[in-house]
Amino acid sequence: MRTIFAVLMLTVFVSFSAAQPQQLNLMPMPASVQMKTGQLVIDASFSVGVGGRSDARLQHVVELFLDSLRRQTGMPPLDMKVTDAAQARLVVHGERANKAAQELGEDESYALDVSPGGAKLDAATPLGIMRGLQTFLQLVQTTPDGFAVPALAIQDKPRFPWRGLMIDVGRHFIPLDVVKRNLDGMAAVKLNVFHWHLSDNQGFRVESKKFPKLQRMGSDGLYYTQDEVRDLIAYAWDRGIRVVPEFDMPGHSTAWFVGYPELASGPGPYQIERKWGIFDPAMDPTQERTYRFLDGFVGEMAKLFPDQYFHIGGDEVNGKQWDTNPNIQTFMRAHGLKNNQDLQAYFNTRVQKIVSKHGKTMVGWDEILRPELPKDIVVQSWRGQDSLAAAAKQGYRGLLSFGYYIDLMWPAARHYAVEPLSGAAANLSPEEKQRILGGEACMWSEYVSPENIDSRIWPRTAAIAERLWSAQDVTDVNSMYQRLQKISQWLDWLGLTHNSSYEAMLRRIAGSSDISALRTFADVVEPVKDYTREEIAAVEATSLSPLNRVIDAARPESATARRFANLVDALLAGRADPEAKPEIKAWLTRWRDNQMSLQPLENQSFLLKEIIPVSQDLSAVANTGLQALDYFDRGERAPEAWAAQEFALLEQAQKPKAQLLLMATPPVQKLVEASSGKKAPPPQK
């Protein structure tokens, strides 16, 4: 009786928006968290037992969990065993097995109850167990009394059933081990679909035994064997991740035509494309041999990839080869196809039948959506929620990728704010809303290599994962960033290199082991956003361009700049703590003086030269900020002439140089505006 009473007394109920759970390093935030008192210590004697139904898969899941836990805590493999459920410190209990191939919409819910004496994880399926174990790993902290998980009760389940990451391995080949560590990252933030963009103009990346010229002539030797594909699928399965292959057609397909020019709508021969962009080559939708080929190919791939869904791309056909091919024009007239959209729809209808014949459900980008297609297809939208809503109204299921293009170098907060059920989608009926399956972060790979891809995916993708898993009202950006920073370092345990490769790249750029000045600089710049990199490139980038410049090392989002901007905002809003102003000054002083350290290195490395003007800007901008603070300190209003001059300087500094954005500039502009009482003029084109 005393025990029960004590437990009741110690249990503190809080809603998940209360401060405490937000301070846990959890991402995505669970549906419900109740904090309790005390903690479960995790030491060498920690053990896991499987209660209820067990099978080889669940055993393996538990082993993988213990591997992760040991790595995180530095325990040897002899510690922390799997034991009988009766003795175990953590008991996992799954009710039933999952299907042989993971399916869309399988139950991923779990309940995790942690007390000082032990923990229980209950789920309907091994998938739910996996999700719960990842939560458990995130909860492990270093405490004064050892590693420990706080006592709490979590009830959790995902909001959307399709939470994906697409990696484009066509434009730059990404080796299998790099893909694998990113699957570990996905599992850690409860993403459940790996969308493998396997072919594009720049490369065809899977071995076909039926059509071996695809990889032999279309990949530069950079492709996955079928054994490797099976290995990757098994790896994903162990982590509760579906693998959806994409073979983009009828456009984005130059690499197919190198070996099989007869598939194309224009005369060959073809070469693997080295440039980036949208290109003319497209499959010939008017030839039966095209469909015979695709029947054979899709049949082969449908066997290789067990997932129910099969992505056929379908995006960005510019139609030029169709326009200039008289046979195709004749065919269109004969079949009443008014334009290229009609022709592509005809193609899609034929391909859909092939995909369906081989037992799969077709997925494609926005462009495939035409009423001719059956309602079971899935549309992946790069156009936005309104497009998604229109599809849902017509009865089609959809995925959002608009707003989740992580190659565009947006800050995490911008992706985080993209809500699948907003815009027109907010007004859908409940039944229509069900058709919005979720979304996918998209890692297009024009500017990624095995060295920097992790830093383009992580940690920002964790914010997208939270958007797709957590409740719609989990929108606190400050909380998100606080947790994101911690999760980012926690992801290091998985072998992801988003943090570690940064310094290695800076050392290469500096040609020196002393990177302090370069790091100070690189910490406060960001790559240009959207497609500006292409637009302002002095030399057109290709797949042969080295990705070893500062823009390739710089993080998509500067944590330093965010902190600095927040400090300035707080200062100007009068809500800064007393340490804010000295810290602002310290940053500005450091930036102003950094150029003195960086300038001499210019003669040391060709990779440094391009940033010297940006570093000079940083110095000047920081100097402006310090002057503005001086006016504050003296209680003077800054003279108008001074402000005008500084606004001109800031406008220049705002312009991308070396394809970099100087992120210190906007907050300094605010300082100048506040000190002078003048608004900066709108930027000149």
Nearer to a copy of itself, 321 or 452 (CB): 452
Nearer to a copy of itself, 429 or 500 (CB): 500
Task: Please identify which residue in 71, 216, 320, 350 interacts with a copy of itself, judged by CB under 8 A.
Answer: 71
Q: Does 395 engage in binding with a copy of itself (CB under 8 A)?
A: no
CA angle, residues 339, 342, 346, in degrees to nearest 5: 140
Q: How far is the CB of 248 from a copy of itself (least distance, A)?
A: 20
Residue among 567, 577, 528 nearest 550 (CA): 528
The CA distance from 432 to 437, in Å, is: 10
Nearer to a copy of itself, 376 or 514 (CB): 514
What would the x/- binding string for a copy of itself be over residues 304 to 323, using CB under 8 A? --------------------
Q: Does 222 engage in binding with a copy of itself (CB under 8 A)?
A: yes
Q: What is the DSSP string of 247-267?
A: EEESSS-HHHHHH-GGGBSS-
- Asked if 238 and 303 touch (Cβ cutoff 8 Å), the reply is no
Helix (H) or strand (E) holding 654: helix 640-654
Q: How far is the CB of 75 from a copy of itself (least distance, A)?
A: 5
The type of residue at 87 is Q
Eight-state DSSP code of residue 95: -
What would the x/- binding string for a copy of itself be over residues 11 to 40, using CB under 8 A? ------------------------------
Q: Does 582 engage in binding with a copy of itself (CB under 8 A)?
A: no
Q: Determine whether 194 is exposed, middle or buried from the number of CB atoms within 10 Å of its CB (0-12, 13-18, 19+).
A: buried
Task: Please identify which residue in 5, 19, 74, 578 interacts with a copy of itself, judged by CB under 8 A.
Answer: 74
**CA distances from residue 358 to 244, 295, 353, 410 in whole angstroms, order as listed:** 15, 8, 9, 39
Task: Please identify which residue in 52, 77, 212, 613 interacts with a copy of itself, judged by CB under 8 A.
Answer: 77
Q: Which of residues 599-618 bind a copy of itself (CB under 8 A)?
A: 602-607, 609
Nearer to a copy of itself, 78 or 86 (CB): 78
**CA distances from residue 535 to 213, 656, 659 in whole angstroms, order as listed:** 35, 11, 10
Q: How far is the CB of 228 from a copy of itself (least distance, A)?
A: 16
Q: How far is the CB of 270 from a copy of itself (least distance, A)?
A: 17
Which residues are part of the catalytic machinery?
A: 316
Task: Please identify which residue in 3, 13, 76, 326 interacts with a copy of itself, judged by CB under 8 A.
Answer: 76
Q: Which stretch binds a copy of itself (CB under 8 A): 119-127, 419-427, 487-495, 660-668?
A: 487-495
Q: Does 510 engage in binding with a copy of itself (CB under 8 A)?
A: yes
- Encoding tokens for residue 549? 């410049």
What would the x/- binding string for a copy of itself be over residues 405 to 444, using CB under 8 A? ----------------------------------------
The CA distance from 235 to 663, in Å, is: 39
The CA distance from 508 to 557, in Å, is: 21
Q: Does 146 engage in binding with a copy of itself (CB under 8 A)?
A: yes
- Encoding tokens for residue 128? 């739910």
Q: Does 225 engage in binding with a copy of itself (CB under 8 A)?
A: no
Q: Does 500 engage in binding with a copy of itself (CB under 8 A)?
A: yes
Task: Please identify which residue in 92, 505, 614, 649 interacts with a copy of itself, judged by CB under 8 A.
Answer: 505
What would the x/- binding string for a copy of itself be over residues 512 to 551, using CB under 8 A? xx-----------------------------xxxxxx---
**CA distances from residue 56 to 59, 62, 98, 128 in whole angstroms, order as listed:** 5, 10, 12, 16
Q: Does 479 engage in binding with a copy of itself (CB under 8 A)?
A: no
Q: How far is the CB of 605 from a copy of itself (least distance, A)?
A: 5
Q: Which stretch binds a copy of itself (CB under 8 A): 238-246, 254-262, 372-380, 511-519?
A: 511-519
**CA distances from residue 587 to 55, 430, 580, 599 in whole angstroms, order as listed:** 56, 50, 11, 19
Rama region for 634: left / alpha / beta (φ>0; ψ in -120 to 50; rest): alpha
Q: Which of residues 583-602 bind a copy of itself (CB under 8 A)?
A: 602
Q: Does 291 engage in binding with a copy of itself (CB under 8 A)?
A: no
- Asked if 240 and 131 touch (Cβ cutoff 8 Å), the reply is yes
Q: How far is the CB of 26 from a copy of itself (least distance, A)?
A: 16
The CA distance from 52 to 192, in Å, is: 25
Q: Which residue has the tokens 């994962």?
A: 465
- Asked if 167 and 449 touch (Cβ cutoff 8 Å), the reply is no
47 forms bridges with which residues in the sheet? 81
Residue among 396, 400, 442, 394 nearest 419 (CA): 400
Q: Does 382 engage in binding with a copy of itself (CB under 8 A)?
A: no
Q: How far is the CB of 181 from a copy of itself (least distance, A)?
A: 12
Nearer to a copy of itself, 141 or 479 (CB): 141
Number of residues that bind a copy of itself (CB under 8 A): 52
Nearer to a copy of itself, 544 or 573 (CB): 544
Q: How far is the CB of 683 from a copy of itself (least distance, A)?
A: 33
In degrees to the nearest 10, what's the CA dihedral of 446, 500, 529, 478? Answer: 140
Q: Which stretch binds a copy of itself (CB under 8 A): 30-38, 136-144, 428-436, 591-599?
A: 136-144
Q: Determine whether 628 is exposed, middle or buried from the number of CB atoms within 10 Å of its CB (0-12, 13-18, 19+).
A: buried
The CA distance from 206 to 481, in Å, is: 38
Task: Please identify which residue in 485, 589, 599, 616 interacts with a copy of itself, judged by CB under 8 A.
Answer: 485
Q: How far is the CB of 226 from a copy of itself (least distance, A)?
A: 20
CA angle, residues 28, 129, 134, in degrees to nearest 5: 40
Q: Which stretch binds a copy of itself (CB under 8 A): 390-398, 482-490, 613-621, 671-679?
A: 482-490
Task: Please identify which residue in 86, 145, 338, 682 interacts with a copy of itself, judged by CB under 8 A.
Answer: 145
Q: Does 449 engage in binding with a copy of itself (CB under 8 A)?
A: yes
3-state secondary structure 591-603: HHHHHHHHHHHHH
Q: Determine whether 512 is exposed, middle or buried from the number of CB atoms within 10 Å of its CB (0-12, 13-18, 19+).
A: middle
- Asked if 550 and 658 touch (Cβ cutoff 8 Å), the reply is yes
Q: Which stretch binds a copy of itself (CB under 8 A): 143-151, 317-325, 362-370, 386-394?
A: 143-151
The CA distance from 565 to 175, in Å, is: 38
Q: Does 555 engage in binding with a copy of itself (CB under 8 A)?
A: no
Q: Does 173 engage in binding with a copy of itself (CB under 8 A)?
A: yes
Nearer to a copy of itself, 359 or 613 (CB): 613
Q: How far is the CB of 139 from a copy of itself (least distance, A)?
A: 13
Q: How far is the CB of 33 from a copy of itself (least distance, A)?
A: 21
Nearer to a copy of itself, 223 or 305 (CB): 223
- Asked if 392 and 426 touch (Cβ cutoff 8 Å), the reply is no
Give me the residues that bind a copy of itself (CB under 8 A), please: 44, 71-79, 141-146, 172-173, 220, 222, 274, 449, 451, 485-486, 489, 492-493, 500, 504-505, 507-513, 543-548, 552, 602-607, 609
